[in-house]
Chains A and B, each alone.
Chain A
Amino acid sequence: MQFKTTFTSAQVHTCNHCGDACDGSILNAQKQAFCCQGCQSVYQLLAENNMCDFYRMQEGAISKPGTIDEARFNHLNDLDLQRNLIDYEDVQQYRVSFRLPQIHCTACVYLLEQLYRFESSISESKIDFSRKEISISVRKPGISLKSLVIMLHELGYGPDLNHKLGHKQIIDPEKKQLIRKLAVAGFAFGNVMLLSFPEYLSTGGLDEPMVQATIHTLSILLSIPVLAYSGLGYLQSAWTGLKKGILNIDIPIALGMVVLFGRSIFEIITGNGYGYLDSLTGLIFFLLLGRFFQQKTYDEFSFDRDFRSFFPLGITRQNGSKEEEVAIDKLEPGDRILVRNEEVIPADAMLIANRSLIDYSFVTGESHPQERFRGDVIYAGGKIMGAAVQMEVIKKVSQGYLTKLWNHESFSKKHDDRFKTITDRIAQYFTPAVIALAIGGLIYWFPSSPQTAFQVFAAVLIIACPCALALSAPFTFGNAIRILGRNKFFVKNSVVVDKLSQVDEIVFDKTGTLTTSENNKLDFSGISLTAYERRLVKTACRNSTHPLSRQIAGAFEEPAIDEVQLFDEVKGKGIVAIIEKRHVKVGNAALLGLKGHLLKTEASLVYVEIDGVLMGHIRFINDYRPNIEKSINSMAQHYRLSLLSGDGDQEASVLQPIFGEKADLHFQQSPSDKLDYISKRQKAGAKMVMMVGDGLNDAGALQQASIGVAVSEQAGQFTPASDVIMEGQVVPMMHQILAFSRDSRKVIFANLGLSLLYNTVGLSFALTGALTPVVSAILMPVSSISVVISATVLTNFFARKNKLK
């Protein structure tokens, strides 16, 4: 027997389109090699249209064209569905937008904006790169929606149709309004500062009262829209806070704004001074600028709490002998539907086919697929594996099991209204202190000089304005979000980062979180198998529910054979099957009756025998994520850890030492068990529970926890509702990420100190009555800018310290 540890044959060629290795069997007229027909067609298309520039521009891997099963897209012919997707339509044209998650570089933009070259009825296609969206205008009568989607798939940019439903752009009006407010504030700020120049220079050149009057009038006129329009948000927020009796951070800001304005007007009209209008406009401008930068970061990540983004859009409904594609919310109890391989079951149904394998790992966490037989009830959320199966709908989509879970009372309650951001908590002390100081100054000066008294009162409020304080948290967290995003840990907003820094308990899921759900490498030693023999092995494994068989079936890429004469799975031993008259055995040593020197001693070895000949064995490589033990150990030192798994407890003895003796490990957990556990912990006093899980299965628990972290293997492919989405490969870096979030609290406090320093300096000026407009005008922008810079520098420093990118 020759022993070769090969799995794939030696590569000589690389595909001319996507760069993957290929065996040189598919060639075009110029003898260039491709890995598949799809790549060759795309290359042909580009070459014919003189678009080989595409290859020059591309950075990173080219998306492979998908394998198309046209029938899968039939539901796009449904008019109702089309209406949902189409943005605009009239007699001459229609316009539709899609989200294309594969867009990643300039070449993608290039290719997709030249779609009119491939299809003459397309008049325009425009990309929005940051949102990964394309907007296509089609002249009528032109390409149908279904053919358009198929074309995109063939090019390697299959649209993510699940994302589009129910998600119209809500962000834009707010963002536009912010830009407008910013423009007005900036315009006024610049002009008012310029107009204030003569007063600073005070060389006496402007004695003429008319000039002075004009300058003052103009300054006031410019400041009014800034206060009334740009600053309106703060005024409204402060008013709402006051009505509720909460002292939020906007109250001192609004108070400062009003006092600045009032006092300036007073001084100008009574001819006593020049007012503080430049400080006022500058203050509002910088505050809005800070908010704009935050908004920019949030725009990149879209989060929905809409569970329907997980369910398939449409399903095949059978009407007697006719088959039609319908949107899932049109399904009625009694409808017969056909669910294909890898499709998610949209509604609770009864199985009509004789037998089916369903993958419920998203619902129950159980990694073994479940076998169901004719007449069994199948719950929504599972994925069909294998041949397409018929089933009859029992409940409408809105009443399925998953919806019940999703409608659990914990989801509908507004999440953490009571959570006070760190800024709010500081404001609680800050605001009364400032007001007390102002009144104190007033009282102190009143006996000797009432005029100075009022001056001091206003000055204290102005200079103690916590603009630096207000900017500290957004900029720190904003930068933190950006850094975390670079490390594939995508946070919804800065409130979540604030919460992250205060976590005291972490609950982990096992399947897909601590283990990777991608197919792992297998190591086959033995007589090298022919392609047909591999098909036999794969077919045998495909019908089995054992996880090892599934891994083998997934790793072998050859297509399986449908007809199986005999299939027998012996518990604890393996599979015996007869496929196309060949006898196949896949199992452990006991099944094959091996003895002596052929017997290996490792536990998880699977032997393969065909027609009585031992072909070799397969060794499985452990599927826990690399370095996960180190990470968990490190986290155990700062947090209380728990593990909730849907699987059985066969690995408890391995996991307990890693998690530590104090950690709670629970197995056989259903989604509601997990949710209940978290509620229990919260009632027991855990202040901030973070749940790290995977998929719809943990959806309820993710919502119940204060922070829900969803693990996904490929960002963009699967987006459940959660507070954080992280890529599977960075799970072992969690301890670093949490350390970083703890450090960002230190940064906030440091910045707080800095802004307090400025406040102290300014207050000393104000209380002694020496606060002149120049001083306040200088101090405010200086303090704001230095806080912003220090926030950015310090967060970057801590990122590097924690070995993040």
Chain B
Amino acid sequence: MAIIVVLICISIAVASLFLWAFIWSVKSGQYDDTYTPSVRILFEDQKTQSTTESKPKRKHK
């Protein structure tokens, strides 16, 4: 039954990982704007015919 101790420790370790990931995501600014990304997913990507300028990288931030 003592195995449960090991299991508990492992689960807490994993959970801490998630906590750290969350805090990092807040620090990196992903929670600064919680509304606009929900609007952005509705846009369709346009196939650009104009090849004169290279399409700048502005993907999902």
Residues of A within 8 A of B (CB): 50-51, 53, 57, 106, 109-110, 113, 116, 120, 123-124, 126-131, 172, 176, 179-180, 183-184, 187, 191, 195, 205-206, 208, 210-211, 214-215, 218, 222
What are the 7 A-B residue pairs with the smallest beta carbon separation, nearest first? A129-B36, A128-B33, A187-B19, A214-B5, A130-B35, A123-B56, A129-B35
Of the residues B8, B23, B53, contact of A180 by C-beta under 8 Å: B23
Q: Are B2 and A208 in contact (CB under 8 A)?
A: yes
Contact residues of B between 1 and 40, Cβ < 8 Å to A: 1-2, 4-5, 8-9, 12, 15-16, 18-19, 22-23, 26-27, 31-36, 39-40
Expressed in whole angstroms, the Cα–Cα distance for A367 and B39 within the complex equals 44
Q: Given A183-B19, A183-B22, A183-B23, answer yes or no on A211-B5 (Cβ-Cβ < 8 Å).
A: yes
- Please give, as numbers and ranges, the residues of chain B lying within 8 Å of A205 by CB-CB distance: 1
Expressed in whole angstroms, the Cα–Cα distance for A215 and B5 within the complex equals 8
8 more A-B residue pairs beyond the given contacts A53-B44, A179-B31, A210-B5, with a C-beta to C-beta distance below 8 A: A53-B43, A109-B40, A128-B32, A130-B35, A172-B32, A176-B26, A187-B19, A211-B4
Q: Are A106 and B39 in contact (CB under 8 A)?
A: yes
Q: Answer yes or no: B51 CB below 8 A from chain A CBs.
A: no
Expressed in whole angstroms, the Cα–Cα distance for A136 and B42 within the complex equals 21
Q: Are A184 and B19 in contact (CB under 8 A)?
A: yes
Expressed in whole angstroms, the Cα–Cα distance for A99 and B41 within the complex equals 23
Expressed in whole angstroms, the Cα–Cα distance for A195 and B35 within the complex equals 36
A-B contact pairs, 11 of them (CB 8 A): A51-B46, A57-B42, A126-B61, A129-B35, A180-B23, A180-B26, A183-B19, A187-B18, A191-B15, A210-B5, A215-B8
Task: Across the interface, name the chain B residue whose C-beta is closest to A131.
Answer: B33
Residues of B within 8 A of A (CB): 1-2, 4-5, 8-9, 12, 15-16, 18-19, 22-23, 26-27, 31-36, 39-40, 42-44, 46, 48-49, 53, 56, 58, 61
Task: Across the interface, name the chain B residue whose C-beta is closest to A190.
Answer: B15
Expressed in whole angstroms, the Cα–Cα distance for A172 and B23 within the complex equals 15
- Please give, as numbers and ranges, the residues of chain A lying within 8 Å of B1 by CB-CB distance: 205-206, 208, 211
Of the residues A110, A128, A179, contact of B43 by C-beta under 8 Å: A110
- B14 CB to nearest A CB, Å: 11
Expressed in whole angstroms, the Cα–Cα distance for A172 and B56 within the complex equals 28
- Please give, as numbers and ranges, the residues of chain B lying within 8 Å of A195 by CB-CB distance: 8
- Please give, as numbers and ranges, the residues of chain A lying within 8 Å of B8 by CB-CB distance: 195, 214-215, 218
Q: Are A120 and B53 in contact (CB under 8 A)?
A: yes
- Please give, as numbers and ranges, the residues of chain A lying within 8 Å of B39 by CB-CB distance: 106, 109, 129
Task: Across the interface, name the chain A residue whose C-beta is closest to B6.
Answer: A214
- A125 CB to nearest B CB, Å: 8
Task: Across the interface, name the chain A residue whose C-beta is closest to B54.
Answer: A120
- Please give, as numbers and ranges, the residues of chain B lying within 8 Å of A187 by CB-CB distance: 15-16, 18-19
With most chain A CB atoms within 10 A of its CB, the pick from B35, B36, B46, B53 is: B36
Q: Are A124 and B58 in contact (CB under 8 A)?
A: yes
Q: Given A128-B32, A129-B33, answer yes or no on A116-B56 (Cβ-Cβ < 8 Å).
A: yes
- A762 CB to nearest B CB, Å: 31
- Please give, as numbers and ranges, the residues of chain B lying within 8 Å of A126 by CB-CB distance: 58, 61
- Please give, as numbers and ranges, the residues of chain A lying within 8 Å of B12 by CB-CB distance: 191, 218, 222
Of the residues B15, B16, B27, B61, contact of A176 by C-beta under 8 Å: B27
- Please give, as numbers and ranges, the residues of chain A lying within 8 Å of B26 by CB-CB distance: 176, 179-180, 183
Q: Are B33 and A113 in contact (CB under 8 A)?
A: no
- Please give, as numbers and ranges, the residues of chain A lying within 8 Å of B22 by CB-CB distance: 183
Expressed in whole angstroms, the Cα–Cα distance for A214 and B15 within the complex equals 17
Expressed in whole angstroms, the Cα–Cα distance for A172 and B34 within the complex equals 13
Task: Across the interface, name the chain A residue whose C-beta is closest to B44.
Answer: A53
Expressed in whole angstroms, the Cα–Cα distance for A106 and B42 within the complex equals 9
